[in-house]
Amino acid sequence: MDFFSQLGFGFNPMFTDDKAACMIVSDDAFVMLLSEPFFRTFTKREPCDTSRQTEGLFALSCDSKGKVDRMVKSAIAAGGTQAMPPQDQGFMYSLSFYDLDQHHWEIFWMDPKTAQ
């Protein structure tokens, strides 16, 4: 939670305890961060070793290229590592990081005019 707090995210205390934390991404989006023992109660499969395998890509959009850069810079300053080099396609810009558990986060901006 400290790591994601340093990226500017808050947490809903009603859904946060020693097993899980409800991270607030926006008014309409939330991410549940689970301890591994609690995570295991939701699946019959083994969790992967995220230091060697990618479990998923978690993408978050930002309002500007600058916010993309700032969020990834904050993630790295908080102990994360850069995952991929920046990708600038003109209408879309992305940069990514691995969090402390080596989960892959893609942070991107897309020109709203192009998205329509």
Going along the chain from its start, the domains and CATH numbers come out as: 1-43 (no CATH), 54-116 (3.10.180.10)
C-alpha 11: how far from chain center? 14
- Rounded to 5 degrees, what are φ and ψ at 47? -65, 145
pTM of structure: 0.88
Question: Among 91, 84, 96, 82, which Cα is nearest to 109's?
Answer: 91
Which band of pLDDT confidence, cut at 50, 70 and 90, is reported for residue 115?
A: low
Q: What is the pLDDT of residue 45?
A: 93
Tell me: the pLDDT tens digits for 24-82? 999 999 999 999 999 999 999 999 999 999 988 999 999 999 999 999 999 999 999 99
Q: What is the pLDDT of residue 113?
A: 87
